[in-house]
A and B are shown apart, each in its own frame.
Chain A
Amino acid sequence: MASALRPSHLPEMDLQCPTNLGDVFRHISNGAQLLAGGTDILLQASVRGEPNKLVWTGGIESMKEFDADSDFIKVGASVPLSTMIKSNAFRDGAPAVADGAQSVGSLQLRNQATMVGNVCTASPAADTVPGLLIHNCVVATIDKENNKREIALKDFLTGPGKTNLGEGELVTCLSFSRLGKNQMSAYQRFTQREALDLAFASVAARLEFEEDGQTLMTVNLALGAVGPTAIDASAAADILKGHPISEGRLDICADAASQLCSPISDHRASAGYRRQLIRALVGDVVRQAATRYGNKK
């Protein structure tokens, strides 16, 4: 019987669901691409008609690890964002990363999408990346010869959609630092609508205060969607160090940050507009982190 139902946009595909890493590598060498949450790659397959060979990593027990209680928060490649967001230890330990995770897509998508997937898709606008950068994220990889690498996230991301992942190498987990004493972080982005949208520009900041709770000791800044990869803009925040937060210094910092970025003009926003957004967001995010710190104390 002919079906009146709309056919799937997906190409004819081969799906493998192995339960051990050896089989994953075997399928990769046969040309299969990794499938984690699938919210990026299935969309890509629908639009481009490829990849049409997928190997799902959700069956690998070791990739389901999520430890939010240690000094370094560790998240495996198969852990959905929502699992992380539901953890108080994660939200308290890495607020900027949690802000980013909660900005991704929609509630439904966060039940499927993974943080490792967000990083490996390597979109310049990835919501979790600026937060991960200022929380000193390290990417752990493995290849079929069991060689393991640990790469700083800032070195891992090399361009839009590009990482320095070698052929046949895969990411097993991310680890990133919890906030230390007298520290606080935050992430904000600008979008046209709150959910289901990609950042025009985004900023993450981590502040460390002196014992007095007022004077800033260190400030880390990262900017998203305004360059080929997220940008470490901590240098722009030097002016804030050794002083309490003041509007004057914040303005200088925001100007410097907007000079550090290299945005493009596209259908979402012009380069000039993105620079202006960075200028506004830097102040907002630093103030938000400071307010959070005040509320926590």
Chain B
Amino acid sequence: MTVVNTIRVNGVDHEIPANWQAKRLLDYLRTELKLVGVKEGCGEGDCGACTVLVDGEPMCSCLLLSGVVGGREVTTIEGLPREYLDKFSSACETHGGVQCGFCTGGVAVMSSWMKNGGTETGVEPVSKLLEGNICRCGGYQQLTNAIADIN
């Protein structure tokens, strides 16, 4: 039996220590790697604040065990290209897409996935693709407009 326990996070390989295998990826990223742009909102897979890309697909890092992600590539908001983050933040500024900012990290990751051609059926609007990111400030329309405005 082999446990693949290396993960590549934002382009850098990390050995996941044995005591982290059965803990949440969210905690590993925040505590061990200090990638605190990954937020814990609900811890139940609903809010999307902890969204990261695993092999390029958005997932909730609060419902993934570190051991399960062995051998795969994880991208957090810290790993998004600076150029993209600049576009995202200026679009949010223009459209009023940020209030408290807690959901913003997850939304940034999600929007970068969309802008890289991410889709399920090829026809969904931004609002549908953003269904897994809850914003309690009520900024959905602003966020949707901001993301639509990024080119």
Q: Which residues of A contact B (CB under 8 A)?
A: 3, 5-10, 12-19, 23, 35, 38-39, 42-43, 46, 54, 56, 58, 82, 85-86, 91, 102, 105-112, 194-196
Query: Are A42 and B59 CB-contacts (below 8 A) given A14-B22, A106-B48?
Result: no
Question: Residue of A at shortest CB range from B57?
Answer: A111
Query: Are A43 and B120 CB-contacts (below 8 A) given A5-B30, A16-B1, A17-B67?
Result: no
B45 interface residue (CB < 8 Å to A): yes
B63 contacts A107, CB within 8 Å? no
B1 partner residues in chain A, CB cutoff 8 A: 16-19, 23
14 contacts between A and B (CB under 8 A): A7-B27, A13-B65, A15-B21, A38-B68, A82-B57, A91-B121, A106-B45, A106-B46, A107-B110, A107-B120, A107-B129, A108-B48, A111-B59, A112-B59
Q: Which residues of B contact A (CB under 8 A)?
A: 1-4, 21-24, 26-27, 30-31, 40, 43-46, 48, 51, 54, 57-60, 63-65, 67-68, 70, 110, 120-121, 129, 131-134
B21 contacts A108, CB within 8 Å? no
Query: Are A112 and B132 CB-contacts (below 8 A) given A3-B31, A9-B43?
Result: no
Query: Are A109 and B132 CB-contacts (below 8 A) given A5-B30, A8-B27?
Result: yes
B4 contacts A17, CB within 8 Å? yes
The CA of A9 and the CA of B40, in the complex, are separated in Å by 11
The CA of A16 and the CA of B18, in the complex, are separated in Å by 11
A108 partner residues in chain B, CB cutoff 8 A: 45, 48, 51, 58-60, 110, 132
B27 partner residues in chain A, CB cutoff 8 A: 5, 7-8
Query: Are A106 and B132 CB-contacts (below 8 A) given A16-B1, A39-B45?
Result: yes
The CA of A107 and the CA of B46, in the complex, are separated in Å by 10
Question: Residue of B at shortest CB range from A86?
Answer: B120
The CA of A39 and the CA of B67, in the complex, are separated in Å by 15
The CA of A5 and the CA of B27, in the complex, are separated in Å by 9
The CA of A195 and the CA of B110, in the complex, are separated in Å by 16
A56 contacts B67, CB within 8 Å? yes
The CA of A54 and the CA of B64, in the complex, are separated in Å by 13
The CA of A46 and the CA of B23, in the complex, are separated in Å by 11
A35 contacts B132, CB within 8 Å? no
The CA of A221 and the CA of B58, in the complex, are separated in Å by 34
A6 contacts B40, CB within 8 Å? yes
A86 partner residues in chain B, CB cutoff 8 A: 120-121
Q: Total A-B residue pairs with C-beta atoms closer than 8 Å?
A: 110
The CA of A12 and the CA of B20, in the complex, are separated in Å by 10
B60 partner residues in chain A, CB cutoff 8 A: 39, 108-109, 112
The CA of A106 and the CA of B62, in the complex, are separated in Å by 14
Query: Are A105 and B31 CB-contacts (below 8 A) given A16-B1, A35-B68?
Result: no
The CA of A17 and the CA of B18, in the complex, are separated in Å by 13
A-B residue pairs, 6 tightest by C-beta = A106-B132, A195-B131, A15-B22, A13-B22, A108-B132, A111-B57
The CA of A194 and the CA of B109, in the complex, are separated in Å by 22
B68 partner residues in chain A, CB cutoff 8 A: 15, 17, 35, 38, 56, 58
Q: A8 is contacted by which of B24, B44, B59, B131 (Cβ under 8 Å)?
A: B24
The CA of A270 and the CA of B134, in the complex, are separated in Å by 27
Query: Are A109 and B45 CB-contacts (below 8 A) given A13-B22, A17-B3?
Result: yes
The CA of A110 and the CA of B131, in the complex, are separated in Å by 12
Query: Are A110 and B120 CB-contacts (below 8 A) given A3-B31, A5-B30?
Result: yes
> B70 → chain A, closest Cβ, in Å?
7
B46 contacts A196, CB within 8 Å? yes
B54 partner residues in chain A, CB cutoff 8 A: 111
Question: Residue of B at shortest CB range from A20?
Answer: B1
The CA of A44 and the CA of B127, in the complex, are separated in Å by 29
B58 contacts A38, CB within 8 Å? no
Interface centre among A6, A17, A43, A82 (most CB of B within 10 A): A17
B63 partner residues in chain A, CB cutoff 8 A: 38-39, 42-43, 109, 112
Q: A85 is contacted by which of B31, B48, B51, B121 (Cβ under 8 Å)?
A: B121
